[in-house]
Amino acid sequence: MTQNRPLHIGVALDGAGWHPAAWREPNSRPHELFSGSYWTDLAATAQRGLLDFVTVEDSLTVPGNPYVAEDPDAVDQVRARLDAHLIAARVAPKTQHLGLIPTITTTHTEPFHVSKALATLDHTSRGRAGWQIKISSSAQEAAHFGRRDVPGLDKTDREALAKGELPAFVAELFDESADVAEAVRRLWDSWEDDAEIRDAPTRRFIDRDKLHHVDFEGRYFSVRGPSITPRPPQGQPVVTALAHRDIAYELAARAADLVFVTPTEANGKEVLADLEVAADRVGRTGEPLRVYADVLVFLDADRESGADRLARLDALAGRELVTDATVFTGGASALADLLQSWQEQGFDGFRLRPGVVVDDLNSITTGLVPELHRRGLFRTEYSETTLRGLLGLPTDVPNRYATPAA
């Protein structure tokens, strides 16, 4: 990468923000967290800042920090969430350029439903849909469905994870997740682009010869297809995953276009090298995996520094923030320096996690983005109409089932 290559920047949205006490800040609008207008306002702010996309966090259990032991009955945090895909569907008609990437778990969700939902989002957003893959290793989440046993991670499992060892059931969940992504991708291709005829005089809406059985047969499920939803405008909506270690790197290399990683300022090149090894190990071919670094940000404000704000929020929460990502506190210029240095190491882009979403998202769009403009490192207008185009991914995606034209 060259120093002057434009940056790609997205934002990860999670309730009131990534700090557990974020909802208690004056601007956080806690009474609106479950309203459509709250989410459309956030998306509008991100679009004004010309950002590439927003991701929307989700899980099948109440929100909480997986890195600390929490009281399951705690009431001093946001203990509810909306469905990420439905948030994206609500936001789609209120935006024109911003990519929309909801989180949808693969462990308790049928591939056919995932395919149909995301294809619909791509149609309604006119080509701006993505998907963040996520597994569920929680026994509590499995109990909501009652269809399968997931033992969950006990103390021994967590100690093993800390040593880089993976419980067998977690490895299977990652393997299943890759199968889900493959089945979903096949279903997106099960309609050829010109399968819809819509010819009223001949009473033919579709060309049946251009709909295809996907006939996916895997260890965990089988899917025949075809889909009942026409091929998405992007052909293949953007598939993403968050990854921290080898098996998650392999899932991203098998299934995703883009991976979110959590480097430190010291180990960025090591993370990039590990991803290359993982891609080789699973035999990835074609387009290289795009790598985006996650950064949790508390930007300086007029009356309070980012560091002071983080310390105050920690005091409100009763403990220091524990997170998987690098935590940045400071001004827009210093954050621009960090992103630029990581870009020079080889990262393709960045996903910023606002500590307090209303405050820090506004600071990203009104402080960081103008600073990047001054450096010639960020777009000054949207020039592409699809998320794939925004991210520099191929926009003419061939259909695996279509017969090449003579």
Mean pLDDT of 334-355: 97
Mean pLDDT of 273-287: 96
Mean pLDDT of 335-353: 97
pLDDT of residue 203: 85
- Residue 61: pLDDT band by 50, 70, 90 thresholds? confident
pLDDT of residue 84: 98
Does domain 9-151+234-367 correspond to CATH entry 3.40.50.720?
Answer: no
pLDDT of residue 62: 79
pLDDT of residue 269: 96
pLDDT of residue 78: 87
Residue at token pair 């899932």: 251
Q: Is pLDDT above 70 for 11?
A: yes
Q: Is pLDDT above 80 for 383?
A: yes
Tally of CB atoms within 10 A around 28: 21
β-strands 130-134, 196-199 pairing: unpaired
* pTM (two decimals): 0.94
Q: What percent of the chain has pLDDT over 70?
A: 94
pLDDT of residue 162: 63
pLDDT of residue 406: 45
Q: Which amino acid is at 306?
A: G
Distance CA 223, CA 177 (A): 14
Q: Is pLDDT above 90 for 147?
A: no
Is the separation of the CB atoms in 119 and 232 below 8 Å? Answer: yes
pLDDT of residue 164: 66
Mean pLDDT of 205-225: 93
pLDDT of residue 133: 98
Mean pLDDT of 353-360: 98
Mean pLDDT of 60-77: 72
Burial 361-370 (b: 16+ CB within 10 A, else e): bbbbbebbbe
pLDDT of residue 66: 65
pLDDT of residue 70: 63
**What are the DSSP calls for 151-204, one per residue?**
----HHHHHHHHTT---HHHHHHHHHHHHHHHHHHHHHHSB-TT-EEEETTTTE
Mean pLDDT of 290-318: 97
User: For the chain, what is the mean pLDDT?
Assistant: 93
pLDDT of residue 131: 98
